[in-house]
Amino acid sequence: MMKHEFKLQWGLPLTGGVAHEMALRPLTIGGELAAMALLDERWGDEPPEGARAAVEETLAFWTRQLYCPADPAWLAALDYLLEHLTGDDHRLILAAQDDLRTKFTAASANHAGSGAAAASPTTAAATGTTAKP
């Protein structure tokens, strides 16, 4: 499976120390649905507004994409990321997500030949992009 590995500046505390080596995988449809269910459960019928909602939404999706290569079974929880992720590392993950999106789009275009996969809904969901009207 495609992934993008990168290093966190401050890291995340895991069993036995602090993990700096991280990776992002493309978001699967199942992962996207799980993240949306997490937000529905967390927010109920009234999603919050403002910056907190935007950050929580991003982190909910990262719970399904972010992993530690040293412990691939590890999955971050939303509250764990809220409590332990620094602003500097948040920005590094955002940059890594852009890098992954670029890699995924290029791989899809090369695989499809015609570029049809790059415009498919599955590719958009997997990379976190949305189609523009």
Q: Which amino acid is at 91?
A: R
Using CA atoms, how far apart are residues 66 and 74, in angstroms rounded to an integer?
9
Using CA atoms, how far apart are residues 101 and 27, in angstroms rounded to an integer?
10
Kindly tell me if the per-residue pLDDT of 64 is higher than 60: yes
Using CA atoms, how far apart are residues 88 and 100, in angstroms rounded to an integer?
19
Q: What is residue 80's predicted lDDT score, i.e. its pLDDT? A: 96
Q: How sure is the predictor about 111, in pLDDT bands with cuts at 50, 70 and 90?
A: low
Mean pLDDT of 64-84: 93
In total, the chain counts a number of residues equal to 133
- Among 12, 30, 125, smallest CA distance to 69 is for 12
Using CA atoms, how far apart are residues 116 and 108, in angstroms rounded to an integer?
9
Model confidence pTM above 0.85:
no
- Among 17, 6, 26, 1, smallest CA distance to 91 is for 6
